Structure 1
Amino acid sequence: MRIVGGVLLGLALAAGSLASGVGPAGAVVGGARVEGTRFPWVVRLSDGCDGALVASRVVLTAAHCGADTSVRVTAGSSDVRTGVTVGVTAVRQAPGYDPDTQRADWAVLQLDRRLNLRTLAVTPSAAYDSGRFTVLGWGSTREGGPQQRYLRAATVPFASDARCAGAYGGNGFVASDMLCAGRGGVDSCQGDSGGPMVHPDGAGGWLQVGIVSWGNGCGRAGYPGVYTQLSTFSQDIRAAVAALD
């Protein structure tokens, strides 16, 4: 299994493919630029990954990004050149994270100060783990392309566990830990790893249901993107966030 270091949302149709192999996701393919501050809780990490502000001084991202206290976090703007940049003082990786299988692919970062921004709630249950999702990030819009200055978003459809298992076979899909979404031409890709996949909460807001984790190429037909299934880990995540907030 190979992780593509970051995911991004691109306007291209299927943006080509990565070298053969399965790995972390990189860019959002088939998306569009986000205007204004519609998603104020999405943040950019200096290591090339993304994340979500889930408490005033805590960011949720992917464990495979390998963030440490040298990482800087930019928040508060869809334009990474105009956001506020803060440091990281502590990192808590999921206790069950397995870098070989990408199981429990989540981590939380404690920021060096609180941010006065709206935060994103983590789903409390599996009730929102189907339907249509929105995935966000600053990743490149084509294979091997540059990462983006402006945040991008794409709508991705749920892919069943059976479909995902059929696509990846013995290459690491674990239904209890992972959630699949996307279709040919609409997917996450290089530059967006760690970014949030969200679902409407029914009251005008959003719930985070997934973290961009891994996949086979970008927007390849028959290969949906694979996301950390947060409903499985919501209790552990809440405890980790409370310890750092």
Structure 2
Amino acid sequence: ESVRSTGKPSSLRIVGGLTSAETGDWPWQASLQYNNIHRCGATLISNTWLVSAAHCFRDMSHPHKWTATFGALLKPPSMKRSVKTIIIHEKYRYPEHDYDIALVKLSKQVEFTSNVHRVCLPEPSQTFPYNIYAVITGWGALTNDGPTPNVLQEATVKLIDSNTCNRKEVYDGDITPRMLCAGYLEGGVDACQGDSGGPLVTPDSRLMWYLVGIVSWGDECAKPNKPGVYTRVKSSNNFSQEDDFWAAFKVSFRSFYSRDSLLPRWVHLLCKNH
């Protein structure tokens, strides 16, 4: 199974609308739409599951009004699916940003093509060092509170260590272990309104693309000393470690849905055997 993007990361920005993705560049990107209006991004992690941000569903958690579309164009999309189930992390509490993650189950499986395909989740032993480059994609605003595009936008950002991001002039201690900063301290490149829930991805040496973050929050868009903040994506086979985000995520969901086999088996979402 190949989980590779054919696109090449650009150094230009989502904010500003200068970088449009081409068809098939980021095949795991989805648009989550409420009453057929784009609301948030999401990432395809299996043929029936998306991962997104919990805050996207605040006051709108009933699945019947939500749909997911795929392809670089919002209109017309390459593929469309209705949403069957929305599962918000039990520890998420608005207006706090911690545990800002949700799972979305589609009503019908997605058939993988060169233009629509899942991304890899990190392997348990995998780490992503700070200062490496990653790619953000989405249909969010081109400027802060500005217009939104019909074509998927892409940008390259740099992972920023938490100590730097927690400095007083940056986010002054607000970054928790469940969060990851990415962008540039000088500003200029960032996700923006409408990109929430979308992917932050980076390739390994095999050009296998891994989901390392989910667009979560920030102070407006592309401001100096205010990089984007993402929900950190980790994976673990150890369900007993309370400090492991994914393990806690799985346990908390199972406590709510123990009578229904809603959740995918995480080992099936990994790409280490491919």
Tell me the TM-score range normalised by the shorter chain. 0.7 to 0.9
- What corresponds to 1:120 in structure 2? 119
1 CA distance for matches of 2:213 and 2:206? 19
| Structure with higher RCO (Cα < 8 A, 6+ apart) | 1
The more displaced of 88-97 and 186-195 is 88-97
Alignment of 1:140-159 (within 5 A): 140-159=141-160
1 CA distance for matches of 2:94 and 2:203? 30
The more displaced of 225-234 and 133-142 is 225-234
Corresponding residue to 1:81 among 75, 84, 89: 75
- What corresponds to 1:97 in structure 2? 92
- What corresponds to 1:133 in structure 2? 134
- What corresponds to 2:245 in structure 1? 233
Question: Higher strand proportion, which one?
Answer: 1
Tell me the SS of whatever aligns to 1:86: strand
TM-score, with structure 2 as normaliser: 0.73
Q: Is the 8 A contact 1:129 1:209 kept in 2?
A: no
Q: Deviations over 1:14-67 (max 9, x none)?
A: xxxxxxxxxxxxxx3266110121111100011410000101011100001014
Q: Deviations over 1:189-240 (max 9, x none)?
A: 1110000000102212200000000001111011111000112533456776
Tell me the SS of whatever aligns to 2:245: helix
1 CA distance for matches of 2:27 and 2:245? 23
Q: Is the 8 A contact 1:41 1:120 kept in 2?
A: yes
Tell me the SS of whatever aligns to 2:45: strand
1 CA distance for matches of 2:122 and 2:250? 10
Q: Which amino acid aligns with 1:224?
A: P
Q: Is the 8 A contact 1:122 1:234 kept in 2?
A: no
Q: Is the 8 A contact 1:138 1:150 kept in 2?
A: yes
Gapped regions of structure 2 (runs ≥ 5): 1-10, 235-243, 255-260, 265-274
Q: Which amino acid aligns with 1:227?
A: Y
2 CA distance for matches of 1:235 and 1:229? 13
Q: Is the 8 A contact 2:12 2:155 kept in 1?
A: no
1 CA distance for matches of 2:91 and 2:73? 34
- Among the aligned pairs, what percent are the same residue? 30
- What corresponds to 2:262 in structure 1? 243
The more displaced of 107-116 and 200-209 is 200-209
TM-score, with structure 1 as normaliser: 0.82
- What corresponds to 2:172 in structure 1? 169
Q: How many corresponding residue pairs?
A: 219
Q: Does 1:198 align with 2:198?
A: no
Q: Does 1:207 align with 2:210?
A: yes
2 CA distance for matches of 1:187 and 1:179? 14
Alpha carbons of 1:79 and 1:116: their partners in 2 closer, same or farther (altered >3 Å)?
same
Alpha carbons of 1:156 and 1:123: their partners in 2 closer, same or farther (altered >3 Å)?
same
2 CA distance for matches of 1:98 and 1:201? 34
- What corresponds to 1:45 in structure 2? 32
1:78 Cα deviation (Å)?
A: 0.3
- What corresponds to 2:5 in structure 1? none
- What corresponds to 1:29 in structure 2? 15
2 CA distance for matches of 1:191 and 1:12? 18
- Between Structure 1 and Structure 2, whose CA radius of gyration is higher? 2
1 CA distance for matches of 2:205 and 2:12? 30
